[in-house]
């Protein structure tokens, strides 16, 4: 049997890009999965492709600590993946309070519920590379301080510090992930570069680049991210010495925004010219992650390069957006 067979798992944020793929993998490997879902998102693969059909879905909010304690207790949950967050940077800038509520209060409610649930053996909390802030263009390593300033970035830095606080103070088996930009089929946040570009191309419209195209970012294909989360959760349950430890995950091949769009155009065999608006400002010109710790301590490495990942992503959107629900 696979190590996850009959293992009781809770996933928050399961209707998101990573959450959906994580639930799909866990169920395929025999886990008993419970998802706390706040909103019904019919186009999310978790629901539209029935990935969650064998899972238990609980309607509720991660800020509801009593609900979380009930779910953890009644489900005899052993492993928790906390992915739920308000994850759109623009929304955070316009409405920081809802972002802080979901990302900060939601994290402490989840951690406190886990502290009161003795069956829990591993908790993986999603931070972000954005929590690092400005380090002068150096690739981020886990020992760098968190210098976040913008609302979304600060909310992830707070969640990160809360997780480390609970590990240190209460010996909670928590690990933290700091990842680059995820991409893959099923991302419904159209303001993000990859899904927004693909949707435009499928509609025959020119893709839009809000910046000048020069910012450099790390990208990580969603199934490589799933591997990373599973590797960390497995190690957390086995090795108390890594409790409270943070791990960077990325492909370690940072690329310009313009390069991502050009790759997408090539994959889609499109000759449409992108519209470069040069309106977005305030973001850092360079963000990249050093993943040495994850490679050496977790024996993790990404398996899907950017070209292959983008090809898989484009195929998903062509299948689902061109002819499925919500088609243009």
The DSSP element (H or E) to which 70 belongs, if any, is helix 65-74
Helix then strand then coil, % of the chain, to nearest 5: 45, 15, 40
Asked if 4 contacts 29 with a C-beta cutoff of 8 angstroms, the reply is yes
Which uninterrupted H or E stretch holds 80?
Answer: strand 79-82
> Do β-strands 8-12 and 245-249 pair in parallel, antiparallel, or remain unpaired?
unpaired
Q: How far, in Å, CA of 109 to CA of 68, rounded?
A: 8
Contact call for residues 156 and 102 (beta carbons, < 8 A): no
- Reply yes or no on whether 183 is catalytic: no
| Candidate list 132, 152, 229, 247, residue with the active-site label | 152
Interatomic CA distance for residues 225 and 231, integer angstroms? 10
Using CA atoms, how far apart are residues 147 and 161, in angstroms rounded to an integer? 12
**Rounded to 5 degrees, what are φ and ψ at 74?**
-70, -30
> How would you class 237 by CB atoms within 10 Å of its CB: exposed for 0-12, middle for 13-18, buried for 19 or more?
middle
CA angle 313, 249, 118 (to 5 degrees): 110
Whether the CB-CB separation of 127 and 176 falls below 8 Å is answered with: yes
CA dihedral 214, 217, 222, 228 (to 10 degrees): 170
| Contact yes or no for 290/141 (Cβ under 8 A) | yes
Active site residues: 152
């Amino acid at each position: 049997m696979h190590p996850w067979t009959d293992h009781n798992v809770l996933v928050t944020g399961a209707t998101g890009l990573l959450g959906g793929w994580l639930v799909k993998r866990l169920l395929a490997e025999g886990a008993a999965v419970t998802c706390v879902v706040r909103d019904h998102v019919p186009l999310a693969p978790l629901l539209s492709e029935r990935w969650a059909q064998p899972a238990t879905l609980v309607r509720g909010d991660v800020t509801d600590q009593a609900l979380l304690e009930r779910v953890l207790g009644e489900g005899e949950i052993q492993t928790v993946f906390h992915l739920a967050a308000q994850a759109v940077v623009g929304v955070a800038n316009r409405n920081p309070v809802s972002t802080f509520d979901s990302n900060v209060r939601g994290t402490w409610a989840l951690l406190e519920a886990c502290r009161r649930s003795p069956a829990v053996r591993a908790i993986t909390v999603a931070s972000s590379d954005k929590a690092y802030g400005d380090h002068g263009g150096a690739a981020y390593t886990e020992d760098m301080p968190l210098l976040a300033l913008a609302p979304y970035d600060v909310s992830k830095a707070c969640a990160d510090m809360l997780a480390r606080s609970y590990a240190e103070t209460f010996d909670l088996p928590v690990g933290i992930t700091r990842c680059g930009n995820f991409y893959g089929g099923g991302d419904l946040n159209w303001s993000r570069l990859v899904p927004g570009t693909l949707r435009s191309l499928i509609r025959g419209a020119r893709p839009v680049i809000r910046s000048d195209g020069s910012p450099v970012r790390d990208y990580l294909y969603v199934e490589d991210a799933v591997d990373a989360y599973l590797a960390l959760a497995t190690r957390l349950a086995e090795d108390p010495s890594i409790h409270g430890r943070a791990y960077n995950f990325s492909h370690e091949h940072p690329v310009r925004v313009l390069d991502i769009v050009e790759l997408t155009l090539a994959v889609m065999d499109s000759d449409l010219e992108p519209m470069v608006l040069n309106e977005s400002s305030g973001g850092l010109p360079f963000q990249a992650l050093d993943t040495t710790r994850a490679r050496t301590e977790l024996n993790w490495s990404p398996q899907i390069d950017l070209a292959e990942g983008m090809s898989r992503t484009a195929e998903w959107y062509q299948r689902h957006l061109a002819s499925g629900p919500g088609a243009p």
